[in-house]
Structure 1
């Protein structure tokens, strides 16, 4: 069983995707005639334009003759395909079997989804609610084959629903054949030449055509018409190439009117981030970096990265951080297009939350870290990554991109560690939260340790030896208390016969 979603105004609505909803609602209320052109011919027109006499395949000159106030836009096929891909992702919550067809049609195999949604009525209700949020024009229809659902979508939904038996949850095929036979032959998805040949023999409806023997149809009109009818009535297989979400996210919006200020970019940014969040949800992944590119009318490009540390998919955070980054740039020319690319992704980690969760300190959240980076630059913050080294200054390294993703530490066999490290486990000292980038020498006058005052040893030693095969390290570490009460981590280098200060305790 198949569901067809026809998008009659997709070429026009795609071009208006970067326009705020308030402006689009105002446009629909005032009913401005609008049309999309391709090769100097009308390709798509809204209802207001059709009421003025505008027709598909009409020349531009003829269109202005009927309506001198009509707004014409050049067709953008790449942006149409991008919108179809976004809608296909949206339909993944209803069925994994989604096919994108020509003429802006989406086909969804729903036979296995009826049980999930407890019937066709609930499925259609949920689907309508989802599509209405996208502010698009659409027509729905059901059928037992892809071709039947596709051709029935030219009619209102109730027309195809008459073939559905709700109690037994199945299609009544006798009723379906009757519905199909009443459709005009010009609705068939075949060449205009083939349709003209069919009409030349006086056949105006499908029922009149199907009365002819199948051999006669093939002989008169060729295999195109014959195969179409066989697939329409499920007498010939009609396999589909199902949509597969891409591995990376890349989308671009080209504006109908250029944008002169940063605030005007807010709506297209929100639209792209909305599409990104949908993509991440379907892929069950999270992103670490958003790469934005702005293209102006002088062929210049502004590119910047927005680092993401939050492990959750959060559109509000993405928008806010992008706006903070935009504050660093001045628009020297009107912006014509904007693109968003995400290549670095990791698996989405499910987190268990407490029933009564503390709000926590705002400054400790990863979002606050991202805000600092947006204000001061991406190099202003970093996190430490643990490494399988026992020498303190080698036990961690800086990671530029902050993330909640867990970093794995390389494991070393226990027997190798015992050979390399001569450590007294009982006397292991707690590591300080702050290590100096380079240990500083401490003066020793045979009685006291002096470093901006006197240091007193307050712990037993912890001996660390390592790298005997390379440049040997041999140190005795101690806790030392300063005159001002600060606790330091100091060591005596057994090889260099010198005291050093290595860390500071909080």
Structure 2
């Protein structure tokens, strides 16, 4: 087996920055007690101002106040790691969150689907960068080795156990995953690399150090199996963005809405499912949340389309009070079946597929403004089609040809030289509702080549009555 370790060195900072409209704004995450607040981490713009991790907040504010502050939230970091695990789940069925700020993925069984490792690696990096997460990626034959190699390498791949041992021997002893006390003890003994430690007699290590040290080294070298608990995606999506200021306009809500929708699309792709219904909760400073219901007629998961639908629903409501946070909750997550497409799509580039156009019209105009027609179990042409929900679709009840354009009222055929191509086809129906008809229908063709559907009542001689036109 081959395991890829995706190390996320600044997960907390990346998670905050990707939700801010200005990525170049100086930003610092703050932690510590109320008496001693310190900078947990800073972005490059804040570092350029002279700020650094571990700096007391009072000292940082004495230098400059031109930076934003956000409290470091461990629970938020955990939520980001869960989202990225859902993203990784689309590439591998074995994804582990054993290590903090790390995604561990078994990739050997996925290479046949996603291509050789250089191609696969590029795709992972491109998608992580597009989502706004910095990363380092290392591949090794076992997850523990991949994790320790990621401490000093990026883009490094070891595919066999023979070459793994040589790569591990060069690691500094303080970078192989041992606790600080053990690593310090080895350093004081003059042992600075893993190779020097492995050269010691095993019984000597067993006497001087806890049993966990040898167990860890055996796990890293692949001599001892490591049991990993694999990630399973939840059955719902629930995430929230707290805004930096009170928002009173729809336009200012679009940026956080787009971020929420993009995260939903990532989650859906990992579960191989779509969403058919979700709710936006607009949380106010006071009072109950404003709920925006977004329902679709079929499951979808394309971020652009979901954003347009949510935006259309959002713009239809009147925000009653300033919004402090936006939450997206999706529980209706059916299996997603991609729309069948032709290899060579003949639609113009600007044209939308019918499903997407239908949903956009419903979002913009309202559910009641868009309706469809569906087949009704009645042989009378004027009753065979009924208006109804746009979600319903059914083909004709009969295999016999029927015109696509029915006239509102039958009209006499006044043109001379009409040729009868087929018929008569008798229709007798409607005795139960008082609108009984007994007609003989004919397929006719005019002198100009147009084809139409005309009838004559049974027992009557005279002019044919035109019912509809064929395309």
The two structures share one fold, judged by TM-score above 0.5: yes
Aligned position for 1:7: 8
Checking the alignment, whether the CA contact within 8 Å between 1:203 and 1:209 is kept in structure 2 is yes
Q: Deviation at 1:105?
A: 0.7
Aligned position for 1:102: 99
Aligned position for 1:225: 213
Aligned position for 2:451: none
Residue by residue, what CA displacement relative to the aligned partner does 1:281-312 show, whole Å, maximum 9, x if unpaired? Answer: 34443332232112233364111112223665
- Of 42, 52, 55, 1:54 maps to 52
Checking the alignment, whether the CA contact within 8 Å between 1:11 and 1:36 is kept in structure 2 is no
Whole-angstrom CA distance in 2 between matches of 1:33 and 1:318: 30
Whole-angstrom CA distance in 1 between matches of 2:238 and 2:468: 46
Q: Deviation at 1:260?
A: 4.2
Whole-angstrom CA distance in 1 between matches of 2:182 and 2:356: 61
- Of 149, 153, 156, 1:156 maps to 153
Q: Deviation at 1:273?
A: 1.9
Aligned position for 1:413: none
Whole-angstrom CA distance in 2 between matches of 1:364 and 1:110: 35
| Gapped regions of structure 2 (runs ≥ 5) | 408-424, 440-453, 455-466
Checking the alignment, whether the CA contact within 8 Å between 2:90 and 2:271 is kept in structure 1 is no
Residue by residue, what CA displacement relative to the aligned partner does 1:376-427 show, whole Å, maximum 9, x if unpaired? Answer: 544555567889999x9xx999986x547x79xxxxxxxxxxxxxxxxx9x9
Label 1:369 to 1:195 Cα distance change in 2 as closer, same or farther (>3 A).
same
Aligned position for 1:276: 264
Checking the alignment, whether the CA contact within 8 Å between 2:98 and 2:229 is kept in structure 1 is no
Q: Deviation at 1:330?
A: 3.5
Label 1:312 to 1:223 Cα distance change in 2 as closer, same or farther (>3 A).
same
Which secondary structure does the structure 2 equivalent of 1:37 belong to? strand
- Of 164, 169, 173, 2:162 maps to 173
Whole-angstrom CA distance in 2 between matches of 1:193 and 1:397: 79
Aligned position for 1:322: 310
Which secondary structure does the structure 2 equivalent of 1:309 belong to? strand
Residue by residue, what CA displacement relative to the aligned partner does 1:92-149 show, whole Å, maximum 9, x if unpaired? Answer: 4543322223320111222234455554333333332332222221112222221111
What TM-score does the superposition give when structure 2 sets the normalisation length? 0.71
Superposed, 1:180-199 pairs within 5 Å as 180-199=168-187
Whole-angstrom CA distance in 2 between matches of 1:478 and 1:285: 49
Which secondary structure does the structure 2 equivalent of 1:101 belong to? coil
1:34 aligns with 2:28: yes
Which secondary structure does the structure 2 equivalent of 1:293 belong to? strand
Whole-angstrom CA distance in 2 between matches of 1:389 and 1:214: 88
Superposed, 1:193-212 pairs within 5 Å as 193-199=181-187, 201-212=189-200
Aligned position for 1:374: 363
Label 1:90 to 1:223 Cα distance change in 2 as closer, same or farther (>3 A).
same
Whole-angstrom CA distance in 2 between matches of 1:195 and 1:5: 24
CA RMSD of aligned residues (A): 4.7
Whole-angstrom CA distance in 2 between matches of 1:364 and 1:215: 70
Superposed, 1:100-139 pairs within 5 Å as 100-116=97-113, 119-139=116-136
Which secondary structure does the structure 1 equivalent of 2:240 belong to? strand
Aligned position for 1:410: none
What TM-score does the superposition give when structure 1 sets the normalisation length? 0.67
Which secondary structure does the structure 2 equivalent of 1:244 belong to? coil
- Of 429, 436, 441, 1:477 maps to 436
Checking the alignment, whether the CA contact within 8 Å between 1:460 and 1:478 is kept in structure 2 is no
Checking the alignment, whether the CA contact within 8 Å between 2:41 and 2:52 is kept in structure 1 is no
Label 1:178 to 1:137 Cα distance change in 2 as closer, same or farther (>3 A).
same
Label 1:291 to 1:383 Cα distance change in 2 as closer, same or farther (>3 A).
farther
Whole-angstrom CA distance in 1 between matches of 2:211 and 2:287: 49
Aligned position for 2:450: none
Aligned position for 1:17: 18
Q: Deviation at 1:11?
A: 0.5
Whole-angstrom CA distance in 1 between matches of 2:56 and 2:438: 87
Checking the alignment, whether the CA contact within 8 Å between 1:7 and 1:139 is kept in structure 2 is yes
Q: Deviation at 1:78?
A: 3.6
Aligned position for 1:144: 141
1:83 aligns with 2:80: yes
Checking the alignment, whether the CA contact within 8 Å between 2:299 and 2:335 is kept in structure 1 is no
| Gapped regions of structure 1 (runs ≥ 5) | 165-169, 408-424, 435-458, 466-472, 481-486, 488-503
- Of 309, 319, 341, 2:297 maps to 309
Q: How many residue pairs are counted as aligned between the two chains?
A: 422
Q: Deviation at 1:13?
A: 1.1
